Amino acid sequence: MTEARTRGLVGGPRPRWLPAQLVGLRSETRTARTLDFDVPGWPGHLAGQHVDVRLTAADGYSAQRAYSIAEPVDDEKISITVQQVGEGEVSPYLVEDMELGDQLEVRGPIGGWFVWSPSAEAPVEQPILLVGGGSGVVPLMAMVRERARLHSRAPFRLVYSVRDPAQVMYADELERRAKDDGVLVDVLHTRQAPAGSERPPGRITTDDLATPSTWPTGVAPRAYVCGPTGFVEHTIGLLLGLGFTNKTIRAERFGPSGS
Ligand SMILES: Cc1cc2nc3c(=O)[nH]c(=O)nc-3n(C[C@H](O)[C@H](O)[C@H](O)COP(=O)(O)OP(=O)(O)OC[C@H]3O[C@@H](n4cnc5c(N)ncnc54)[C@H](O)[C@@H]3O)c2cc1C
């Protein structure tokens, strides 16, 4: 791992702002989209890290927010997936208005704890439980993609909680990752489940997080939990009840941020 890639992991100097040009766009749902940026000078990142995004108006007013990086490292490119928040200041611009060729600034990578890498301290075989609520799936998807990129066979399970089927981001890819890459994927619905679903809609429960019978018993799994603060706190409580500990749970909360 180069010195640059460890930035954000070791609490070194805060990364500087870099200009980023929008070069790709994909709708994920009616209210979320993925934005790909070219960022000359980008130092690289690890799956799970995030960036600060800064928008500056002609009169000099600026606003910044944090967004998880959705894809594994790829030269000087980064992708983010943004869920539009009603009445929000920044997310509606990113989801509805920003056009190819437009620029903003990014600073990163940021975050050294909420990362997954088979070359870090975790052994490759350590089973990984990913639990995401809403847009909290974004850094977890980066981990799923990193696992595929590195041809890792670490047992991975993603439990993804959404309000209803229309809110599922990366739906086709998740199906493919389950079929081709052996990632166990469970989508839970809190308000409205698809027709024929065996699980009634509702909050995530202990049963939803039970360890798969196929996982090795000799290695304690690690959990990554991400989403709104209430979702994260509730899930951590369930995981502690299942025998996870503060050492085997890593969490990231997507509350309001920046200004
Ligand atoms: C480390 C980190 C990573 C993040 N990664 C992502 C990501 O990958 N994708 C993504 O879509 N968002 C992510 N967020 C959330 C993001 O930073 C913004 O908070 C979000 O886009 C809302 O910004 P806004 O300017 O549109 O809303 P604001 O103008 O900040 O807020 C408008 C209203 O919405 C409420 N609000 C703010 N943020 C949220 C939220 N996250 N959920 C519900 N209500 C909210 C506010 O309390 C306020 O009432 C992340 C946050 C953190 C801290």
Would you say 224 and 46 are in contact if contact means Cβ atoms under 8 Å apart? no
Would you say 142 and 68 are in contact if contact means Cβ atoms under 8 Å apart? yes
Q: Minimal CA–CA distance to 248: which of 221, 225, 227, 226?
A: 221
Distance CA 101, CA 20 (A): 9
Say if strands 50-56 and 156-162 run parallel, antiparallel, or are unpaired.
unpaired
| 176-235 confidence digits (pLDDT tens) | 999 999 999 999 999 999 988 999 999 999 999 999 988 988 888 999 999 999 999 999
Distance CA 186, CA 100 (A): 34
Mutate to test the pocket of ligand 1, among 50, 54, 84, 85 (most ligand atoms within 8 A of CB): 85
Within the chain, which residue ranges are assigned CATH 3.40.50.80? 128-254
Nearest CA to ligand 1 atom 53: 254
Widest distance between CA atoms in the chain: 59
* Whole-number percent of the chain with pLDDT over 70: 92
pLDDT of amino acid 3? 41
Within the chain, which residue ranges are assigned CATH 2.40.30.10? 3-110
pLDDT reading at 6 higher than 70: no
Look at domain 3-110 and name its CATH class: mainly beta
> On the CB side of 154, how many CA atoms lie within 13 Å of its CA?
29
pLDDT of amino acid 12? 64
| CB-ligand 1 contact for 34 (6 Å cutoff) | no
What does the pLDDT average to over 116-128? 72
241-248: long-range pairs with CB below 8 Å, 24+: 241/206, 242/206, 242/209, 242/210, 242/211, 248/220, 248/221, 248/222, 248/223
Of 5 and 131, more confident: 131
Look at domain 128-254 and name its CATH class: alpha beta
pLDDT reading at 2 higher than 90: no
Distance CA 156, CA 2 (A): 26
Nearest CA to ligand 1 atom 10: 82
Of 259 and 170, more confident: 170
pLDDT reading at 4 higher than 50: no
Distance CA 234, CA 74 (A): 34
pLDDT of amino acid 71? 97
Nearest CA to ligand 1 atom 46: 256
| CB-ligand 1 contact for 83 (6 Å cutoff) | yes
